Structure 1
């Protein structure tokens, strides 16, 4: 459930953009991000690193966008976040005993180390691609950028995650008993 909270600021940003324009929407994005992650911090007494990165980059790039009244800064927010995640995931191959994706999902799935490494590298490539795609649309098709930012990014992520599940399913234990409740 917590992972879906990450989409709340984006959905509110989209709604505010459609009703009021980019600068009020940027204010809504900043406020929603602070409220969501502030609430998580109060409830859990800690924030995950990805939430800290998202919060800091949103405050920085959203704040500069509002201060300078220049949407260019906001257009760089999603690519920067994606590329930071790509660097963190890539760096985990060289630092520590487990890659990031194994740290996130290893408690739930028992698969060989090489599977985690491949999956982690797939996330690196995904984050690089997602950042580049967002940047390309933001500066080439500005009229469609906000729609892409919300629906295109979400769609890419969901498709990637389905592919990830298909890949992982090959390494999960097979259940020989096909009956329910046995």
Structure 2
């Protein structure tokens, strides 16, 4: 294999597919950072339309990912414009990433009825109800109790949704204990709720691996490879959702900070974090994961 092929292991058709799925999101982040949320939202809409035209012409189907992202972005961007509060566009990233992670995790769970779905979402629902009716701390305790019962009933075999819920709750409980601020437990409810909604939608709508459905005409992997690819990206979306909340809540919108000799507001730091850390990290992660997936190539 030539050196360029090793560095960029995609052909022309695969490149168009990747750009059509993720290009609008990259455009939105860059334009939003340079010119604000209005221009960023319009950039997302225009590039999404371009992606739809290209994908329909080449693959005879619309790009799923940008359509979902654009809907969420426009909704939360409108709330920011109406309320003049950047919190909405910031928390949009958290909600969308957690929602999509739950959607991806549902790829490994087959819907057989509302009762089965209720049992799967039981720990999260218990945490939400107790948190709203009694206390945030009580909600965390309820989650761990119900999860322990589920662990015993399942003989130690918990689903991806259970494990990720335990993980994010442990992280936010740790932050709550360190900062003595209940805002972290409130954030945990937001992330867990988005996970649960995404999982429920995916379980009822999708009947196959999401990424396999989106990319199967371009990439050809074994079923084990598709499952590994989807599960890895689901966990990565969880990581970015949690990281987004840590930065959003650590650096306040109405305060100014001295960072690397620059005077920056909390929103400036959040945008810089998205562009300088998360965006390159996402690209690097996708590239490394795709290279690693070559062992599952058909």
TM-score w.r.t. the length of structure 1 is: 0.78
Q: Per the alignment, do residues 171 and 47 of structure 1 end up closer, same or farther by CA in structure 2, a change over 3 Å counting? A: closer
User: Which range moves more in the overlay, 92-101 or 42-51?
Assistant: 42-51
Looking at structure 2, the residues matched to 32 and 155 of structure 1 have their Cα atoms a distance apart, in angstroms, of: 20
- Unaligned regions of 5+ residues in structure 1, if any? 17-24, 174-182
User: Which range moves more in the overlay, 75-84 or 90-99?
Assistant: 90-99
Looking at structure 2, the residues matched to 14 and 100 of structure 1 have their Cα atoms a distance apart, in angstroms, of: 30
1:86 positional shift: 0.7
Residue in structure 1 matched with residue 31 of structure 2 by the alignment: 12
Q: Per the alignment, do residues 35 and 171 of structure 1 end up closer, same or farther by CA in structure 2, a change over 3 Å counting? A: closer
Asked whether 1:157 is paired with 2:282, we answer: yes
Looking at structure 1, the residues matched to 207 and 27 of structure 2 have their Cα atoms a distance apart, in angstroms, of: 33
Asked whether 1:57 is paired with 2:72, we answer: yes
1:115 positional shift: 2.1
Superposition pairs for residues 8-87 of structure 1, below 5 Å? 8-16=27-35, 25-41=36-52, 44=56, 47-87=62-102
1:166 positional shift: 3.5
Residue in structure 2 matched with residue 144 of structure 1 by the alignment: 269
Higher-RCO chain (CA-CA 8 Å, sequence separation at least 6): 2
The alignment covers a number of residue pairs equal to 165
- Of 208, 215, 223 in structure 2, the residue corresponding to residue 105 of structure 1 is 215
TM-score w.r.t. the length of structure 2 is: 0.50
Which of structures 1 and 2 has the bigger CA Rg?
2
Residue in structure 2 matched with residue 122 of structure 1 by the alignment: 232
